[in-house]
Amino acid sequence: MEKKQYVYLFSEGNASMKNLLGGKGANLADMTTLGIPVPQGFTVTTEACNKYYADGKMIAPQIIEEIHEKMKELEEQTGKEFGSLTNPLLVSVRSGARVSMPGMMDTILNLGLNDEAVEAMAKLTNNPRFAYDSYRRFIQMFADVVMDVEKRLFEELLDEMKESKGVHFDTDLTADDLKELVGQFKVLYKKEKGEEFPSDPKTQLIEAITAVFRSWDNPRAIVYRRLNDIPGEWGTAVNVQQMVFGNKGETSGTGVAFSRNPATGENLIYGEYLMNAQGEDVVAGIRTPQPISQLEEQNPVIYKQFMDIVNKLEKHYKDMQDMEFTIEDGVLYFLQTRNGKRTAQAALKIAVDLVEEEMLSKEKAILKVDPKQLDTLLHPTFDEEKMKKVNPVAKGLPASPGAACGKISFTAEEAKVRHENGEKVVLVRLETSPEDIEGMIAAEGILTVRGGMTSHAAVVARGMGTCCVAGCGELKVNEEAKTLEIAGRVLTTEDFISIDGTTGNIYAEALNTVTPEITGYFATFMNWADEIRSLKVRTNADTPRDAKQAVEFGAEGIGLCRTEHMFFAEDRIAAVREMIVAKNEDQRRKALEKLLPMQREDFIGIYEALEDRPATIRFLDPPLHEFLPTDEADIIALASEMDLSVEELNGTIESLHEFNPMMGHRGCRLAVSYPEIAEMQTRAIIEAAIEVKQNKGFNVVPEIMIPLVGEIKELKYVKDVVVETAKKVMEEKGVELEYKVGTMIEIPRAALTADEIAKEAEFFSFGTNDLTQMTFGFSRDDAGKFLADYYDKKVYEQDPFAKLDQTGVGALMKIACEKGKTTRENIKLGICGEHGGDPASVEFCHSLGLNYVSCSPFRVPVARLAAAQAQVKNKR
């Protein structure tokens, strides 16, 4: 058998090997083939990462051997030698998963340096300052990333050195200063680790690769994966690449650039660079970089070469590129390229522009926008009228668009806790680091004092679609004292702040936000999505207002109207309670009579908002505990309304107590016990439809949906009540009206007996919230308490209530679709559980052949795009 290859030189790989080499590795191989000046190197594959974990977190000896062999070949390619005393080869070691996960995993630069190699570098470059600067950076990074020694300890030594030499910037330290610092760093390392800093480059290399593999499973990477649907089993590749130096002096530099503006999508080069610096200086946002336009003035020859390569890369990848480059002694190198992360606005503009520039077809362009990103466009901006009357107190960089308002949180941990307690917070930091990820997710917006447009906060916020203002040097933030000084005022964690990520403006007050509309590029793009998709998109809406909003967002009808949600209102809850605690049919009918006109009005409102679009209205499905009165005053009032003593009523409430309300007297079980409830709801639905048809001329065809059916006879019993009542109403009104009766499939037994059920049901709608609950056997209400342990222990990677479990729940859905069609060939199939708005789940529904998905109004555009993407990926 041929030996499996775990390490590939860039010159051996190609663009199609993304799964094996990771995105970065495949692109480096591809760029090498394209003849772009790329420092050479090799990629250790994702399979090696998976093997590392399979072997109990150990790199197999055969892979180590292969790494050393490839290193020899790299030495030949570069004419340098790893660990040489005269001409040392230095490398960077970076992670590179199949999709980019900015800042989530680890990077080590300048690897290969030791006390001898640094002297050789000093001689070779005639620049001892540069050599020792590289060395001190390497020791700090290696210690931090590979050996877990706190970075802060090294930074303190650096600060002390600057202070003792009376200088302000790192660049003002001399070679001798840096040499002294290296000595101090090594002493610190030995103190912390109890051993000498490893001087053998081969040891350094294997340790560094191990650390990158290990970082695939660090907590922030796990959170990022969950957020972005990246499976743990993909693993990360590791790229080992010859170092080129941007910190060799004033003819060297380094930068990052996007081929188009990642915030707006404008087709103009966008980027930043710093002369005499290494990449980390640009990304960390410690020194403020120059805009890329400056390079044209500073070095027109390099700028032209740079732009030619940028254009070549964009044409080649047919997408906006995010590139890292370094100039070493006046020679330009590209260190990497990838499809750039961008805001939702930018994504839409770029996708539409690429079609207009004839680089992409509409089908391909549809795939360029992440459906989840659209969410950010549907969320609030500041109310324009109000904005005319308020003044910003400061301005930072508009790093990620949108508007956010909340109370100030100075730490990520606090932001997370306050968010969980229902508070809206804005995370205010000097700068963010990858450890802050959970707080950044929890925050409405992010505001930083330091850092540019490509700082960590900016990149991550744009990726998440969270509003961010970065680099606002006017703020004085004291993270320890938890205070923020701004325009002469001191704000604390109890104060509101509002930030505008589109302008960079900051307001020291709470500002209203408004919901935007779908126009411009967004509308063009969504029209293309609608032309392409075959899966319809409906909405879950219980009020005319929500229905209207959803229609504006492109909903093609209502897939679920939860009638019990109409009863939460203050003026209705009393009548509902009366209905629930009624001792006999008479009492119940009395309460239902109060509810009938309210329900009828609700349905009229909903039909009118939908115009001719279909509406699926579900019969009452209240977990009773949500409606029973607990407040003493409420109980007294209810007893008096019903002519009961308080004791009597308390007795009834007691008797209605359920141990497991989610599996209790709910859904169609209620209608089986109390058919008069189904009668009232049928009457309201049909009467409202007749009224709207007569008054407004809309052709309303109500779809009456019976919930929580597990047995055909249950459905038949309730359906008979519906049919009889509808007939009666139509006779009373002297009008014929078309309507449908169907059911939810949300109990495993219903899925398994779907051929039976379909005899009575004209449509199925998968209630995957309950179906997930009952398939897994854990409660929707309680699972949150232990799911975190499941993520920690890698039992689950995803919340099955958010992302459909295609293996288990999906198998039941497939059975139900197939069986249902055997008895009713044209049965209409939909989904209305929360999964109906999750892109991966939408794709699954498309492949099952469902007719529609239904989701909350704000997720309608997300589902429309996900459905179009499913169609492009898998035509049906």
Q: If we measure between CA atoms, which residue out of 435, 454, 431 comes closest to residue 446?
A: 431
Q: Which is nearer to ligand PEP, 367 or 752 (CB)?
A: 752
Number of helical H runs and strand E runs in the chain: 35, 31
Among 560, 576, 700, 848, binds ligand PEP (CB under 6 A): 560
CA 867/CA 870 separation, integer angstroms? 5
Note whether 236 and 322 are within 8 A (CB).
no
- Residue 319 lies near Mg ion (rule: CB under 5 A): no
For residue 767, state whether it binds ligand PEP (rule: CB under 6 A).
yes
Whether the CB-CB separation of 21 and 8 falls below 8 Å is answered with yes
554 burial (CB, 10 Å; 0-12 / 13-18 / 19+) is buried
Residue whose CB is less far from ligand PEP, 277 or 620: 620
Of 560 and 827, the one with the shorter C-beta distance to ligand PEP is: 560
Q: Cβ of residue 757: shortest distance to ligand PEP, in angstroms? A: 16
**Which is nearer to Mg ion, 424 or 669 (by Cβ)?**
669
Of 66 and 770, nearer to Mg ion (C-beta) is 770
> Residue 490 or 811: which CB sits closer to ligand PEP?
811
768 is in an annotated binding site: yes
Q: Would you give the DSSP letter of residue 127?
A: -
Instruction: Name the segment binding ligand PEP (CB under 6 A); options: 56-64, 85-93, 421-429, 768-776.
Output: 768-776
Contacts of 603 (CB under 8 A, 6+ apart): 617, 684, 685, 688, 689
Residue 859 binds to ligand PEP (criterion: CB under 6 A):
no
* Residue 562 C-beta: closest distance to Mg ion, Å: 9
Q: How far is the CB of 606 from ligand PEP (least distance, A)?
A: 17
User: Which stretch, 190-198, 553-561, 746-754, 787-795, contacts Mg ion (CB under 5 A)?
Assistant: 746-754
Contact of residue 201 among ligand PEP, Mg ion, none (CB under 5-8 Å per partner type): none
Residue 410 or 763: the one with the smaller Cβ distance to ligand PEP is: 763
Helix, strand, or coil here: 417? helix
Strand stretches in 465-567, DSSP E: 467-470, 476-478, 483-486, 489-491, 496-500, 505-507, 513-514, 536-540, 558-562
Q: Does 661 bind ligand PEP (CB under 6 A)?
A: no
Contact 854, 554 (CB under 8 A): no
Sequence-separated (6 or more) residues with CB below 8 Å from residue 636: 646
* 278 in contact with ligand PEP (CB under 6 A): no
Per CB under 5 A, the list member of 271, 398, 675, 767 interacting with Mg ion is 767
Residue from 370, 770, 805, 834 binding Mg ion (CB under 5 A): 770
295 scored as a contact of ligand PEP (CB under 6 A): no
Q: CB neighbours of 226 closer than 8 A, spacing ≥ 6?
A: 791, 797, 798
For residues 144 and 770, which CB has a smaller minimum distance to Mg ion in the complex?
770
Kindly tell me the sign of the dihedral angle through the C-alpha atoms of 68, 69, 70, 72.
positive
Tell me the chain's radius of gyration from C-alpha atoms. Answer: 32
Query: Where do we find the tokens 């859905």?
Result: 813
434 binds ligand PEP (CB under 6 A): no
456 is catalytic: yes
Question: Considering the rule CB under 5 A, would residue 281 count as an interface residue with Mg ion?
Answer: no
Q: How far is the CB of 573 from ligand PEP (least distance, A)?
A: 18
Hey, is 500 helix, strand or coil?
Answer: strand
Smallest gap from Cβ 819 to Mg ion, in A, equals: 20
Catalytic, out of 49, 379, 405, 456: 456
768 binds ligand PEP (CB under 6 A): yes
Nearest to 740 by CA among 696, 686, 690, 698: 686
Nearer to ligand PEP, 554 or 767 (CB): 767
- Which residue is associated with the tokens 């019993």? 717
Q: Of 202-210, 383-391, 765-773, 854-862, which segment contacts Mg ion by CB under 5 A?
A: 765-773
| Other residues' Cβ atoms within 10 Å of the Cβ of residue 476 | 11
CA distance 757 to 745: 9
Question: Closest approach of Cβ 370 to ligand PEP, in Å?
Answer: 25
Please check whether residue 74 is in contact with residue 242, taking contact to mean a CB–CB distance below 8 angstroms.
yes
| Residue of the chain from 504, 833, 839, 861 that contacts ligand PEP (CB under 6 A) | 833
Q: Which of 746, 756, 834, 838 binds Mg ion (CB under 5 A)?
A: 746
615 makes contact, choosing from ligand PEP, Mg ion, none, with CB < 5 to 8 Å by partner type, with: none
H/E stretch holding 831 reads strand 828-831
Query: Shortest distance, CB of residue 666 to ligand PEP, whole angstroms?
Result: 8
SS3 258: strand
621 scored as a contact of ligand PEP (CB under 6 A): yes
Is 770 labeled as ligand-binding? yes
Is residue 838 near ligand PEP by the rule CB under 6 A? no
Of residues 832, 845, 850, 863, which one binds ligand PEP by CB under 6 A?
832
Nearer CB in complex with ligand PEP: 24/562: 562
Closest to 518 (Cα-Cα) out of 227, 777, 858, 775: 858
Amino acid at 605: G
Q: How many residues bind ligand PEP (CB under 6 A)?
A: 10
Q: Per CB under 5 A, does 805 bind Mg ion?
A: no
Residue 571 CA neighbour count, 13 Å, CB half: 4
β 290-291/321-328 pair status: unpaired
H/E stretch holding 718 reads helix 712-733
**Candidate list 419, 562, 824, 864; residue touching ligand PEP; CB under 6 A:** 562
Among candidate residues 217, 208, 279, 218, the one with its CA nearest the CA of residue 238: 208
Residues 565 and 619: their CA atoms lie apart, in Å, by: 11
770 binds ligand PEP (CB under 6 A): yes
Considering the complex, what minimum distance in angstroms separates the CB of residue 778 from Mg ion? Answer: 15
Q: Which of 543, 404, 428, 405 is nearest to 482 (CA)?
A: 428
769 sits near ligand PEP (criterion: CB under 6 A) = yes
**Residue 562, contacted partner among ligand PEP, Mg ion, none, CB below 5-8 A by kind:** ligand PEP
Indicate which of ligand PEP, Mg ion, none lies near residue 81 (CB less than 5 to 8 Å, by partner kind).
none
Question: What secondary structure, in 3-state letters, does 627-668 show?
Answer: CCCCCHHHHHHHHHHCCCCHHHHHHHHHHCCCCCHHHCCCCH
CB of 371 to ligand PEP, least distance (A): 20
Least distance to ligand PEP, CB of residue 769, Å? 3
Q: In terms of CB distance, is 180 or 746 closer to Mg ion?
A: 746
Name the active-site residue from 468, 561, 817, 832. 832
Stretch that binds ligand PEP, among 449-457, 468-476, 523-531, 763-771 (CB under 6 A): 763-771
CA distance 876 to 872: 9
- Near Mg ion by CB under 5 A, which window of 117-125, 265-273, 580-588, 763-771? 763-771
Cβ-closest position to Mg ion: 770
CB-CB contact of 64 with 211 (8 Å) = no
The reply to whether 665 belongs to the active site is: no
By CB under 6 A, residue 746 contacts ligand PEP: yes
Q: How far is the CB of 750 from ligand PEP (least distance, A)?
A: 12
Give the per-residue SS3 of 310-371: HHHHHHHHCCCEEEEEEEECCEEEEEEEEECCCCHHHHHHHHHHHHHCCCCCHHHHHCCCCH
618 is in an annotated binding site: yes
For residues 119-129, b (16+ Cβ closer than 10 Å) or e, as one string?
bbbbeebebbb
Binding residues for substrate are 562, 618, 746, 767-770
Binding site for Mg ion (CB under 5 A): 746, 767, 770
Catalytic residue positions, numbered:
456, 832
Binding residues are 562, 618, 746, 767-770
Binding site for ligand PEP (CB under 6 A): 560, 562, 621, 746, 767-770, 832-833
Binding residues for Mg(2+) are 746, 770
